Structure 1
Amino acid sequence: MKFSHYKITSLLQIFFGSIILALAMNIFLIPYKIAPGGVSGIATVIYHVSGERIPVGFTMLAINIPLFLAAMKIKGRNFIIKSTLGAVFLSVIIDITEQGISRLRELVLASADYSSADILLFALAGGFASGIGLGFVFKEDATTGGTDMAASLLNKAFPWIPVGTLLMILDGLVILIATVVFKSFRLGLYSVVALYVSARTLDRFLEGLNYAKSLMIISRESEKIARALMENIDRGVTGIYGKGMYTDNPYMILLCVVKKEEIHRVKNEVKKIDPNAFVLLTDVREVLGEGFTSHHVS
């Protein structure tokens, strides 16, 4: 099998994401019985119920293998290969780092008396780090297995139920099981917090942190404004022909995307030329192209 530069980079990203996710689980989540849904949550419950004799990584891999086999027909070959590697990376890293992290935690935090506030911080930190780790994996069109794969399979049997709803139900069931087994409503709530933070962090990671502003400017002085933005702000401007439905007057609507720090300069330029211009600003999560972020091929 011939590997291109982009394939190797993709595998390294999955490996790096798996490391972050594994460390997040071993440092912040598993030791404190925080089970934020998914196969990792089930594995965490089994790990503690077995008296820490059944490794988390082993359990995750044992559950994920049949899920991947069942999903062969649903998902593409490339997705399954990458996801299998991601699941194996994650399971192996969790198990080989567990003892070392456990010993380090005993040395550093042996005398610590954990309060509810401490566990909440662990849930927040674990959720945030998990979201970052998953972000690197998901960005390469892969997954580490788990309930998202199970949700896709169930969607084939119950097509009227959206995958997102099924995923929420499965994760909710895992958290409910952990709450009952650990006999702690508080731990269940911490698991919900970790799951929420992880999901939000993952969304932000995938959407991109390179925020910008998109402006739509409607003015009778559109030509002058466009020239000022191109010359003074050094930003491209696109003109869109429009018409006022009330006045029946034709207008040139200007579309321009700028960085956050350039917004006040744009407003000043528009105000100098036409104080009565109608300006609409909207958030842009990520901008690819000249003057912003370069396109990356994967």
Structure 2
Amino acid sequence: MNSTKTFAITKTVAPILLGTAIYAFGLLYFIIPNQLMEGGVTGITILLNYAFQIPIFLTTLILNLPLFFLGWKILGGKQIAYTGVGIGALTFFLWLFERMIHSGWIVPFTTKNDFILASLYAGVTLGAGLGIVFRFGGTTGGVDIIARICGRNFGWSMGQVILSIDILIIGASLLYIPREKILYTLVAVFISSRVIDFIQEGAYAAKAFTIISDHAPEIADLITVEMDRGVTLIPAIGAYSKQAKHMVYCVVSRQEIRRLSQLVKSIDPRAFVIINDVHDVHGEGFRET
């Protein structure tokens, strides 16, 4: 294996290891000490831990093996290789952090009254961990595999798939967990799903301007000169007038929204302007790939 390929694999595996470490830490630092719940296979492992004190790392490994082979058949060898890394890393970090907690090296966050604080931080931590893992093509097993399959085959948001499955499993846990703890858990799950989508779509947000005007060329020239931004002129035909014209398309940072709007109005106060959210922008003037 040459050094270039080794470096490429390392660039993928290292974030997966980081993500699984964050996720495992969130489970053992925020979820378990406050007797909250999680969804998916992890939720099952937590219930088994609450009921029988079975170590979470052990049930995580055992329950994920069948799903691992399912992912092998559907996602393919390359994808499942990174899933194997995710499952192995999650099992290892759960074992490691459990040992560190039992040894007193880590003192979990425990509260008797402010469970909303535990829920918020649990959601952010778990979502950040899973989001990093997903972004770099891995999964941590469990419903993560199902979510990735749905995302690939149906285009569904992975965060939404996980949220739906988690609600079903957490609802079933009402038989074992107090109702108020379930409600706090739903807060954590919702926040986690939003953080996953945020990381998946990209932390760098920008705005895309679509400008329809009879003075499109002048607007494009002004944006190029005054803002040093790339601009695209798109040919268009007015449906009512049947006249040929151009649309201006330009992506700017959030800090430049007001300035661009003012430039457009200075040329054509009647211009029709559409502003859309843009995520994960790459290229000149933005974050490089």
Q: Decide: shared fold, TM above 0.5.
A: yes
Q: Given that residues 216 and 253 in structure 1 are in contact (C-alpha distance below 8 angstroms), is that contact kept between their aligned partners in structure 2? A: yes
Counterpart of 2:80? Answer: 80
Q: Given that residues 179 and 187 in structure 1 are in contact (C-alpha distance below 8 angstroms), is that contact kept between their aligned partners in structure 2? A: no
Shift of 1:258: 0.9
Shift of 1:197: 0.9
Deviations 1:207-260 (A, max 9, x none): 112111111112222221111100110011111111222222221111111111
Counterpart of 2:43? Answer: 41
Farther-moved stretch of structure 1 (270-279 vs 22-31) = 270-279
**Count of residues in correspondence between the two structures:** 282
Is the aligned partner of 1:143 residue 2:145? Answer: no
Farther-moved stretch of structure 1 (203-212 vs 143-152) = 143-152
Describe how 1:48-87 pairs up with structure 2 within 5 A: 48-50=50-52, 52=53, 54-87=54-87
Q: Given that residues 163 and 190 in structure 2 are in contact (C-alpha distance below 8 angstroms), is that contact kept between their aligned partners in structure 1? A: no
Farther-moved stretch of structure 1 (2-11 vs 286-295) = 2-11
Q: Given that residues 157 and 197 in structure 2 are in contact (C-alpha distance below 8 angstroms), is that contact kept between their aligned partners in structure 1? A: no
Q: Given that residues 126 and 192 in structure 2 are in contact (C-alpha distance below 8 angstroms), is that contact kept between their aligned partners in structure 1? A: yes
Q: TM-score, normalised by structure 2?
A: 0.89
Q: Given that residues 22 and 125 in structure 2 are in contact (C-alpha distance below 8 angstroms), is that contact kept between their aligned partners in structure 1? A: yes
Q: Given that residues 61 and 87 in structure 1 are in contact (C-alpha distance below 8 angstroms), is that contact kept between their aligned partners in structure 2? A: yes
Cα distance in 1 for partners of 2:148, 2:17 equals 24
Question: Could you say if the C-alpha distance between residues 209 and 168 of structure 1 is closer, same or farther in structure 2, counting changes exceeding 3 Å?
Answer: closer
Counterpart of 1:175? Answer: 170
Percent of residue pairs identical? 33
Instruction: Structure 2 unaligned segments of length 5 or more: list them.
Output: none
Deviations 1:160-208 (A, max 9, x none): 9x897975564234213332113x1111112221111111100011111
Residue from 118, 128, 135 that aligns with 1:132: 128
Cα distance in 2 for partners of 1:285, 1:19 equals 26
Shift of 1:30: 1.4
Describe how 1:15-34 pairs up with structure 2 within 5 A: 15-34=17-36
Counterpart of 1:277? Answer: 271
Cα distance in 1 for partners of 2:232, 2:212 equals 12
Shift of 1:281: 1.2
Deviations 1:102-151 (A, max 9, x none): 53566x87xx7611xx2221111111111111111111111000123357
